[in-house]
Structure 1
Amino acid sequence: MPVNVPRALPARRTLESENVFVMSSERAGHQDIRPLRIAIVNLMPTKIVTETQLLRLLANSPLQVEITLVRMCSHESRNTSTEHLDTFYRTFEQIRDERFDGLVITGAPVEKLPFEAVDYWDELCAILDWSADHVYSTMHVCWGAQAGLYRHYDIGKVELPDKMFGVFEHRVLDPRARIVSGYDETFTAPHSRHTGTPLEEVQAHPQLQVLATSETAGLYLAQSRDGRQLFVTGHPEYEADTLALEYHRDASKGLPIEVPVGYFPDDDPTQPPRVTWRSHAFLLYANWLNYYVYQRTPYDLAEMQRAARRADSYVI
């Protein structure tokens, strides 16, 4: 089944050229099913790129997905046109009274700032708090994961001595967890960040479960015990050339940047990069949509609070 996106959204043309199944609202309205309502809080500056990356992954399941794009009112975007934002995005105030099956909160290039110094921090905190009883399951990605862990569980971040930059091997710690269903024992995923989350603090928290880690990159995947909150510290949504573009951009400016680990053949940035994380990325989002959203969210979203209370003692 497809992901339902507006006809004019730039990501739609890219996905259709890749033979990704997308659907218009008109066609979706003729199907006798309730689509999953998924909101995406897009904090990335290059919003169209991020839209395309996430929609590609969300489209790869047998479920119909209806997307709502959300932007910050308290931050002025300098890399995305006002026309695009006004056409395709809604504000938190516009969706505050609505309920969603799932929510994705993206990363953001603000990780070196204290959380409270981010200009939209108060607005994001309101969204994180709202998600507890208006969203059934939330996927937090990279800085979004750090923000969620800090707001919900008071777990901070630490600045790394060197940028965690490249594609790293990770190990599944609990293969029984539904989010890693079908995973190999080890898998790869991209990282691009200057800060990290203290693994020992997440492990010690009674409401959290660590599901995958890397000897080099540290914590990768964790979830709340009830499965309603997922935290991904890397960027499984990245395209083949995302790290290459970041590397060549900084290198051309004379900025200090190392060749991304495990990405270019023989660490040679003149060669095309190898993509080794794509299957894991698709499986991550398909498992989330199926096991954490579709299988558990109530058909009538008005029943979400009662369903959430029933799920409090249910570990997946």
Structure 2
Amino acid sequence: MPVRIPNRLPASSILRSENIFVISDERADSQDIRPLKLLILNLMPNKIETETQLLRLLANTPLQVDVELLRIHNRPSKHTSSDHMDAFYRDFEAIKNNNYDGLIITGAPLGNLEFEQVDYWPQICDIIEWSQRHATSVLFLCWAAHAALYHLYDTKRYLREEKISGVFRHRRLHGHIPLLRGFDDEFWVPHSRFAQVSLDKLKAHNELQVLAESDEAGAYLIMSKDNRNLFVTGHPEYTRTTLQDEYRRDLGQGLAPTIPTNYYPGDDPTQPPFARWHAHGALLFSNWLNYCVYQQTPFDLSAMQGFTPMES
């Protein structure tokens, strides 16, 4: 089944050109099914690029998913037109009384800033708290994962000496957890960040479980033991060229970035980059939608209050 998005959303034509099944509002309204209701809080500057990356993965599932887009504030975006934001994004005040089957909160390019220095940190905290009552499952990506681990579980991150950028080998740590069904023992994931949370502290936390880790990148998949929150510290949604775009952007800004690890053949940035994480990214999002959302959520979303997901 398809992902349901507005016909005019730029991602719609891009995904159709890739033979990915998206469905119009008109056709979806004629179907007698109960689609999953998914909310995406997009904190990335280039909204359209991130929308397309996430929707590409969400469409790779037999479930019909209705997607709404949320913004953290209504100030003008430097990288996305106000027409796009006004047409496709909603403010928190407009949706705060709604319930959702799932919520995704993206990363944000906030680098070395302490959380309390982020100008919308109070709003992020409010939405994280709200999510624990109004969404069956929440998937936090990269910066959002660190922010939510800090806010909900008091796990503080630390700043690395240099940015970790590249594609790294990971290993799963558990064999019979639904989210990891179909995973290879080892798999590859892109990372692009300055911060990290101590692997030892995460493993010692009595409310969290580390599901996958990397020698270079640390903890990658962390699940709360009540199965409501999934923290993903990397970027399984990245396209083949996203790391290259970031590397060239940093070069253009005179930042002297290191060449992304395990990305270019022979570490030669004049060569086309090599992608080996797309299958993992598709499986992760498909498993999350199936096992953490679809098989956990109440049929009637008005019954969300007080709902507790089943444990694995």
- In structure 1, distance between residues paired with 2:29 and 2:252: 49
| CA shift in 2, pair 1:150/1:74, >3 Å | farther
State the Cα distance separating 1:76 from its structure 2 match. Answer: 4.2
Match of 1:34 in 2: 34
Q: Deviations along 1:144-196, whole A, 9 cap, x unmatched?
A: 10011011101111000111100000000012111111000000000000111
Q: What is the SS of the residue equivalent to 1:305? A: coil
1:169-248 to structure 2, matched below 5 A, reads 169-248=169-248
1:1-316 to structure 2, matched below 5 A, reads 1-73=1-73, 76-308=76-308, 311=309, 314-316=310-312
When structure 1 is superposed on structure 2, of 73-82 and 223-232 the one drifting more is: 73-82
Q: What is the SS of the residue equivalent to 1:86? A: helix
Q: Deviations along 1:42-76, whole A, 9 cap, x unmatched?
A: 00001000000000000000000000100012654
If the length of structure 2 is used for normalisation, what is the TM-score? 0.98
- In structure 2, distance between residues paired with 1:213 and 1:285: 18
- Matched letter for residue 92 of structure 1: F
- In structure 1, distance between residues paired with 2:155 and 2:24: 41
- Matched letter for residue 21 of structure 1: F
Q: What is the SS of the residue equivalent to 2:93? A: helix
Give ranges in structure 1 of 5+ residues lacking alignment. Answer: none
CA contact (8 A) 2:133 2:306 kept: no
Point out 4+ residue stretches in structure 1 off by more than 3 angstroms.
none
State the Cα distance separating 1:307 from its structure 2 match. Answer: 3.1
- Matched letter for residue 7 of structure 1: N
State the Cα distance separating 1:306 from its structure 2 match. Answer: 4.0
State the Cα distance separating 1:79 from its structure 2 match. Answer: 1.2
State the Cα distance separating 1:103 from its structure 2 match. Answer: 0.2
Identity between Structure 1 and Structure 2 (%): 52
- In structure 2, distance between residues paired with 1:35 and 1:180: 24
- In structure 1, distance between residues paired with 2:61 and 2:174: 23
If the length of structure 1 is used for normalisation, what is the TM-score? 0.97
Give ranges in structure 2 of 5+ residues lacking alignment. Answer: none
- In structure 2, distance between residues paired with 1:111 and 1:156: 15
Q: What is the SS of the residue equivalent to 2:31? A: coil
CA contact (8 A) 1:45 1:79 kept: yes
CA RMSD of aligned residues (A): 1.0
- Matched letter for residue 60 of structure 2: N
State the Cα distance separating 1:80 from its structure 2 match. Answer: 1.1
State the Cα distance separating 1:253 from its structure 2 match. Answer: 3.3
- In structure 2, distance between residues paired with 1:259 and 1:189: 16
CA contact (8 A) 2:76 2:82 kept: no
- Matched letter for residue 16 of structure 1: R
- In structure 1, distance between residues paired with 2:106 and 2:222: 16
- Matched letter for residue 303 of structure 2: E
State the Cα distance separating 1:254 from its structure 2 match. Answer: 2.7
State the Cα distance separating 1:304 from its structure 2 match. Answer: 1.5
- Matched letter for residue 108 of structure 2: A
